[in-house]
Structure 1
Amino acid sequence: MNKPRMLLAALPLLVGVAQAQQPPESEWRQANRQVAEFPRGHADVLKWEQARQTAMPPVAGKPATLVLNSLAEGVQLAWQAHPELAKPLAQLGREEVALLASGQWQDLSATRLRRIEDAAELIEVAHGTRKTLLAAMAVEQALPYQQQALQAAEAAAELGARMAQTGNWSKLQDAREQLLKVTALQQWQRSQYAADQSRAAVLKALQQWTRRAAQTVRLPQSLPALPAAILSEQAFRDRLARMAATLPAGEQTMMRANAELAYSAYRTAYALAGSSQQDTLKLRQFIYDETVLRYNGMLLNTWDLLAESRALAEARVAAIGAVRDFWLAEADLQLLLLGQVPESFVTLAAGGDSPAAAGH
């Protein structure tokens, strides 16, 4: 019997134990031994189930799928939806078009861009599309972890309900587990809607809904990794001064008025994303691993294990949101350093659940 099947067999046993008024200790030990053979526990079962779902053949009649392998592909497709941008793209040249599409805006010549007619619209489309794609990619990347959190809550609620039915738990204890399940279910429903909404936003940004038959979109699997270092404050001020020198007085004032906030968002988002990945996730993983060891040694109960599985999944969702916020802030800063001002700046909300996640 393979490990996923062994754990699937073990979980009903854990639930079934609650049906007895005085569950024999031997049954608990048997269940713990089975779970111990698959130490990643509930999270691995979910991965196994998701792999099976992914392998299922496509259903006939579903909309065609637009596959985007990178952010640059999305930006280039958005430009194609604007025929009036063909001329500035040709004037810009292949190398600088590639830099603009891939988000390497710091390598562009702001002075040269200002000499190209409609270059501002070219940059605006790239900026808006990039932010829309980043937000959508974060939603997609977080979905499996949000499903893990829901299924852990559902398992705990099911076990609690059976314990309460047999008189081994109070109604208060059961109500707490049921409330956690309801909250997790509500969050999962919001997440599914957010995924639908973000896919629609991508298709709208690329104007696919007016150019082709109904379709859905497949995005890159994960957000770009955080850079090893960010633009220093001195380098930021130097670039800001050079850019301001090329602008009329009114535009200089507008850019400088937003410059400090743009850099603050960028720097703070980088610090939060790094801390979320290196500190929070590392500690959460350690707590989860230690909980598994103590659970296998019968020092902690099933609810402890499920609670930590849920907490680890939620921490991963928060980390994804923090990385998303950094790249949104980075896009805004780069736009500003090309002489344009974003409509709004990212809000660095707790847990990475930013109101600005819907993009530009």
Structure 2
Amino acid sequence: MKLALSALGLAVLTGCAAVSPQQGVDRANDEAAGFTQGALNLARTQQERDDRAQKTQTLLSAPVGQKEAVQLALANSAALQALLAQGWVDAAGAAQLGRVANPVFSFERMSSGGSLDLGRALSFGLLDLLTLPARQGIATRRIEEAQLRLTGDVVDQVTAVRQAWVRAVAAQQTASYAQQVYQSAEAGAELARRMRAAGNFNRIDRAREQSFYADAATRLATARHQATASREELVRLLGLDEAQAGALRLPERLPDLPKQALEPQAVASLATRARLDIRLAQSALDSASKAQGLGVVTSFTDIELTGRRNTAFDADGTRSNARGWEIAVALPIFDWGGMQRAAMNGRTLAAANQLEATVRAAGSSLRQSYSAYRTSYDIARHYRDEVVPLRKLISDENQLRYNGMLIGVFELLADARDQVGTVLAALDAQQQFWLADAALQASVVGRPGGATVASPAAAPAESASAGH
């Protein structure tokens, strides 16, 4: 009865640090609601997998916007499911630290002549039991750390999907425009060839038109490859198979710029005080500190308690019982645990400095992300409101001059070529803004991605003035 009660007490104690696969998923849905919209789920049954497949087909039946791309990844990505399963593994491994090791039962039978000795012993780690509350505290903090890390990984994955979608749509849009430029250059080159054959065009002007046509063909091939590569990157992040990849349709162009950019005060209010990176570093420090305190004791020795009950049968059939207990103590003679304590001290110091570094860098990374966001917005708006309208005005005026027979067709084509660089730079500026927008959203919750502002796309070489 005493042994049964003891075992029951141990079972109650060891049940304190338990995790389920849904705990980490629920926490990620709660902590990163703006990224998962509560749709994150670990599929463990065939019914759940069938539901995910049905949702995937529904999403693929229409053009996939950025929001739908995230939903596709959450529903269909096997890599994301592996990430959730690994989070379950990490949390379960952390919880294991808060469990008491199973007791060891041994049975011994010894016979000599007509006598028989039966020995029974139940052993368990006494030090393991005495330090259980401390180990459960460490386990709780490591579970917290594993769940925060899972949330951060989910945010990173969703951000990668958002940015891959932007690159795929922008590359598709650029390839479409490169096709238009190619067709225009082809027509110009053919016209120049015919006029040269008729003796109405000199060699150098004919070579200029042919050179632009050759460059346009090269740019078209490059743009098509970039569109394919960007699309395949998105396909991999969404976890699509061959049939699903064939059904994937993207919008023809990127979304319009928002009417107003976010102000610094609005970004600061969105930034949670409990950022994921700071909380993860704090949890790591708490865990290391607790483990260091526990290690001061466990690094010196170990204690094992054993209860024994022996039964002896003599040759004449007389039976006698003996009960008792013993304690086994590991003697710190050769190893005093100094290196273990030194390692734990180092881990605690590293965690403390990592926390301080994270706190110091948090504001800086957010300011950098906002600067990239605001600069990209201002550049994209500048192209939309100033540069592109000016180029259109010049084009319209040259069209009027051509209609009035003040300039020829090649001057009109030369003006169209001059617009190519402006349009490409405007597309690139719009792409850079949406990439910076996704990076800013991640930085706000504490997953900075080092957002940068790229230079506008280089304009193709302009043709020389085609005066004849």
Q: If the length of structure 1 is used for normalisation, what is the TM-score?
A: 0.65
Equivalent in the alignment of 1:77:
72
From 215, 232, 242, the equivalent of 1:183 is 215
The residue type equivalent to 2:182 in the other structure is L
1:191-234 CA distances to partner (integer Å, 9 max, x unpaired)? 1111111111111111113x857635311222121111122234
How many Å apart are 1:331 and its aligned residue?
1.0
Greater mean alpha carbon deviation, residues 220-229 or residues 161-170: 161-170
State how far apart, in whole Å, the 2-side matches of 1:141 and 1:67 are: 18
Equivalent in the alignment of 2:255:
224
1:169 is paired with a residue whose SS is: coil
Equivalent in the alignment of 2:120:
none
Contact 1:295/1:305 (<8 A) preserved: yes
CA RMSD of aligned residues (A): 3.2
Alignment of 1:271-290 (within 5 A): 271-290=378-397
Contact 1:199/1:217 (<8 A) preserved: no
Greater mean alpha carbon deviation, residues 327-336 or residues 232-241: 232-241
How many Å apart are 1:260 and its aligned residue?
3.1
Equivalent in the alignment of 2:415:
308
More helix as a share of residues: 1
The residue type equivalent to 1:225 in the other structure is D
Equivalent in the alignment of 2:454:
348
Matched, 1:327 2:325: no
Contact 2:161/2:238 (<8 A) preserved: yes
Q: Which has the larger radius of gyration?
A: 2
Contact 1:149/1:311 (<8 A) preserved: no
From 123, 144, 167, the equivalent of 1:135 is 167
How many Å apart are 1:240 and its aligned residue?
5.0
State how far apart, in whole Å, the 2-side matches of 1:244 and 1:125 are: 17
How many Å apart are 1:267 and its aligned residue?
1.1
How many Å apart are 1:326 and its aligned residue?
0.4
1:10-61 CA distances to partner (integer Å, 9 max, x unpaired)? xxxxxxxxxxxxxxxxxxxxxxxxxxxxxxxxxxxxxxxxxxxxxxxxxxxx
Residues 147/212 of structure 1: CA separation in 2 closer, same or farther (3 Å cut): closer
Residues 243/180 of structure 1: CA separation in 2 closer, same or farther (3 Å cut): farther
% identical aligned pairs: 31
Equivalent in the alignment of 1:215:
246
How many Å apart are 1:149 and its aligned residue?
1.5
Q: If the length of structure 2 is used for normalisation, what is the TM-score?
A: 0.51
More strand as a share of residues: 2
Alignment of 1:1-12 (within 5 A): none
Alignment of 1:245-256 (within 5 A): 247=279, 248=282, 249=355, 250-256=357-363
The residue type equivalent to 1:83 in the other structure is Q
2:273 is paired with a residue whose SS is: helix
From 173, 179, 183, the equivalent of 1:151 is 183
How many Å apart are 1:263 and its aligned residue?
1.8
Contact 1:259/1:336 (<8 A) preserved: yes
Q: Specify every segment of 5 or more residues in structure 1 that has no aligned partner in the other structure, as ranges.
A: 1-64, 88-113, 354-360
Contact 1:150/1:185 (<8 A) preserved: yes
State how far apart, in whole Å, the 1-side matches of 2:157 and 2:458 are: 25
State how far apart, in whole Å, the 2-side matches of 1:191 and 1:137 are: 12
Residues 236/352 of structure 1: CA separation in 2 closer, same or farther (3 Å cut): farther
